[in-house]
Amino acid sequence: MSLSRLFKMSVVASTVLSVSAFAQTESLDPAIQAGKEINQSAEQSQQKIDKISDDIQTRLQQFKTINKEIDGLLIYNKQLDKQIANQESEMSDINESIDKVSVVERQVTPLMIRMIDGLEQFVNLDVPFLPAEREKRIADLKNMMDRADIAPSEKFRRVLEAYQVEVDYGKTIEAYTGTLNVDGAERDVDFLRVGRVALIYQTRDGKLSGAWDTNQNDFVALSPEYRTSITKGLRIARKQLAPDLLTLPISAAE
């Protein structure tokens, strides 16, 4: 075979191969394009899957968090239930106490009235010192009992306070001034009270003196020999002298 013929055959073969390769390329383009589209679709699908997965993880975390909150709320509610039960028990006790208070109050009011009446009788039968002050105290207690704006507890406190004042009279010495009918004339006098065993008066000039006599229910004149002791007793009561022994007439206890 000649060289020129061989060259011609090579050229023809190359041309055939080129045509064949071009034909193959054109036939693969749809497949390549389809592959690209499949890859894009797969990528989009993967993105959707990733998003869904992230969503699921987020919701799962929220679910776990909510479950923890629910568990905490259940424990809290149980504790509240216990507290409510205790409060209901306390309310029941309080209501029962209120009912008892009402009963006690109904019993205390008559008791206070009897106590005031008893105190009034005691003052009327007692040595007549500070009569105006003591009578006013009893009158105030009686007026207090008719008032609705004062609580029963406060009323009872004031009644007990009045009793305490009367008790203290029996343990103290006191001097005060007043007027007294002496020998038919109204005179300014100094009174000396020694507990409840002696109530003595002395005129301002010191010339006349007397002591309360329980048996006679009146003042009786005293001899001048008591003048010095009475004056001393008045000064002791006014804290002008230190406490000391006194010689005074006293009423025997009954």
Q: Higher pLDDT residue, 72 or 200?
A: 200
Q: Are 254 and 215 in contact (CB under 8 A)?
A: no
In the block, residue with structure tokens 């054109």: 26
Give strand ranges (E) for the chain: 173-182, 185-194, 198-203, 209-213, 218-221
Q: Higher pLDDT residue, 27 or 241?
A: 241
The mean per-residue pLDDT over the stretch 9-26 comes to 52
Listing DSSP states for 145-202 in one string gives HT-SSS-HHHHHHHHHHHHHHHHHHTT-EEEEEEEEEETTEEEEEEEEEETTTEEEEE
Angle of CA points 157, 159, 162, to nearest 5°: 110
Q: Higher pLDDT residue, 73 or 203?
A: 203
Q: Higher pLDDT residue, 183 or 139?
A: 139
| Global model pTM greater than 0.75 | no
Write the pLDDT tens digit of every residue in 35-93: 777 878 777 878 888 888 888 888 888 888 888 888 888 888 888 888 898 888 888 88
Q: Higher pLDDT residue, 105 or 243?
A: 243
Q: Are 195 and 171 in contact (CB under 8 A)?
A: yes
In this model, does residue 253 exceed pLDDT 80? no
Write the pLDDT tens digit of every residue in 138-161: 999 999 999 999 998 899 999 999
pLDDT given for residue 20 in this prediction: 55
| Band of residue 7 on the pLDDT scale cut at 50, 70, 90 | very low
Averaged pLDDT of the chain: 84
Q: Are 211 and 200 in contact (CB under 8 A)?
A: yes
| Rounded Cα distance, 149 and 46, in Å | 84
In this model, does residue 110 exceed pLDDT 80? yes
